[in-house]
Amino acid sequence: MNGATLCWLGQMGLMMQMGETRLCVDYFASPRADRQVPPPISADRVEGVQVFLGTHDHLDHIDHEAWKVWAKTCPDALLVFPEAHRDAVLADGIDGARARGMNDGETIRIRDVTIHAVAAAHEFLHRDENGRYPCLQYVIEWGGLRVYHAGDTLRYEGMLPRLQGFGRIDAALLPINGRDGRRYRRDCIGNMTFQEAADLAGELKPGLVIPGHWDMFADNPGDPAAFADYLDAKYGMKCSVPKIMEPIRIGDGQKR
């Protein structure tokens, strides 16, 4: 079996090459004055992507301006998102035939990749009036490999056994920026603290742990060094603090 290649794009953005399928998850590609790091690839230069995924409808996860571009420049790509946001996604000019809305517990197969949706608790674990979760996590499978993209979430009761039920996770991208009253008062809802994310990783035991959601905004930071130190001290596990666009190999004994 050949391995897969992951490239972190900043925040929770992840590009994945799995066999003949290229996926792009939560890529925030639009320039903004309050970004601390620029987009590594401008939206109009994103090429060869067959599947775009967004975990929830915040600008750094479903970047509507970029999705409008990709609807035209990647005309064969499918777009995966929480079904709760279908109207917002279709408003980006995306044909309904290319839109794949998902809800908690659902699985879809696209080409040779299988995508599982798990509810996410972005500060709150809630559903809309139609029982749809507005925030999701994804477990993405190809060729016996599994990549867990946590989106934006807290850990909630029952989440760990759900994830363990998929079998061995080869790589996990976890948010570590936490939450506090200052952020909550300005409507910036939160995620796992670095300690909570380390505890999840320590119990889930993925082959590779990648901290995310720490670099993009000065007023919503995380500390990957503290995460790495706590994960090592408590569980004897190493993590890969990512560098933007640096390839990471999984599944074939290579990591770089």
**Tokens 């930071």, located at residue:** 221
Q: Taking residues 167-188, what's their average pLDDT?
A: 97
Residues 6+ away with beta carbon under 8 Å from 177: 190, 191, 213, 214, 220, 221, 222
Q: What is the pLDDT of residue 203?
A: 98
**Residue found under tokens 């490239």:** 7
Confidence of residue 1 (pLDDT cuts 50, 70, 90): low
Mean pLDDT, residues 43-49 taken together:
96
**Do residues 255 and 248 make contact, with C-beta atoms less than 8 angstroms apart?**
yes
Q: What is the pTM assigned to this prediction?
A: 0.96
Q: What angle do CA 94, 99, 102 make, to 5 degrees?
A: 145
DSSP string across 13-57? -EEEEETTEEEEES---S--TT-SS--SS-GGG--S-SEEE-SSS
Q: Is the pLDDT of residue 13 over 80?
A: yes
User: CATH assignment of 4-248?
Assistant: 3.60.15.10
pLDDT in the model for residue 30: 97
The band of 254, judged by pLDDT with boundaries at 50, 70 and 90, is very low
pLDDT tens string 127-147: 999 999 999 999 999 999 999
Sequential DSSP letters for 179-228: --HHHHHTT------HHHHHHHHHHH--S-EEEESSSS-TTS---HHHHH
How big, in percent rounded to 5, are the helix, strand and coil portions of the chain? 25, 25, 50
Between helices 224-235 and 194-204, what is the axis angle to 10°?
A: 40
Phi, psi of 122 (to 5 degrees): -80, 85
Mean pLDDT of 192-219: 98
26 pLDDT exceeds 90?
yes
Residue 255 confidence class, pLDDT cut points 50, 70, 90: very low
* C-alpha pair distances (Å), 6 with each of 22, 44, 48, 240, 256: 10, 21, 15, 12, 10
pLDDT at 190: 95
Query: pLDDT digit string (tens) for 27-37?
Result: 999 999 999 99
**Which residues sit opposite 99 in a β-bridge?**
79
Q: How many CB atoms lie within 10 A of CB 204?
A: 18
Digit-coded pLDDT (tens) for 65-98 = 999 999 999 999 999 999 999 999 999 999 999 9
- The pLDDT, as a whole number, for residue 253 is 56
- Rounded to an integer, the average pLDDT of 106-113 is 97
Residue with tokens 């790495």: 228
Q: Are 48 and 60 in contact (CB under 8 A)?
A: no
Which own/partner pairs from 229-238 qualify as long-range (CB within 8 Å, at least 24 positions apart)?
230/194, 230/195, 230/198, 231/198, 231/201, 231/202, 234/198, 234/199, 234/202, 235/198, 235/201, 235/202, 237/201, 237/202, 237/205, 237/209, 238/209
* Neighbouring residues of 236: CB distance < 8 A, sequence distance ≥ 6: none
For the chain, what is the mean pLDDT? 96
pLDDT digits (tens, 9 = 90+) for 113-127: 999 999 999 999 999
Q: What is the pLDDT of residue 152?
A: 98
Confidence category of residue 2, pLDDT binned at 50, 70, 90: confident
Cα–Cα distance for residue pair 103/119, rounded to 1 Å? 7
Residue 9 has pLDDT above 80, yes or no: yes
> What's the mean pLDDT in 224-244?
97
